[in-house]
């Protein structure tokens, strides 16, 4: 998509729905932020809600 290649597990894709990837640079925080259409349960990672800073 737009020159960016990404991989996502089929099962996770079905659970998360649409995924939005943004880049944030607001002076004190910089990086990619992932947001999902459907809330995800708190699995084993730091992403336990509808958004995640990676």
pLDDT digits (tens, 9 = 90+) for 8-50: 888 888 888 888 888 999 888 899 888 888 877 655 444 444 4
The pLDDT, as a whole number, for residue 14 is 85
Instruction: Give the C-alpha separation, 29 to 16, whole Å.
Output: 25
Residue 4 lies in a domain: no
pLDDT of residue 53 exceeding 70: no
Domain for residue 43, yes or no? Answer: yes
pTM for the model stands at: 0.51
What is the predicted pLDDT for the residue at 51? 53
Does residue 42 sit within a domain? Answer: yes
Q: Could you list the residue range(s) of the whole structural domain that residue 29 is in?
A: 10-53
Provide the pLDDT for residue 48.
Answer: 44
Q: Is residue 5 part of a domain?
A: no
Number of domains in the chain: 1
> At 36, which helix (H) or strand (E)?
strand 30-36
Q: What pLDDT score was predicted for residue 45? A: 47
């Amino acid at each position: 998509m737009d020159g960016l290649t990404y991989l996502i597990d089929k099962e996770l894709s079905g659970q998360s729905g649409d995924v939005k990837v943004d880049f944030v640079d607001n002076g004190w925080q910089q990086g990619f932020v992932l947001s999902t259409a459907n809330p995800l349960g708190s699995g084993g990672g730091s992403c336990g809600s509808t958004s995640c800073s990676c």
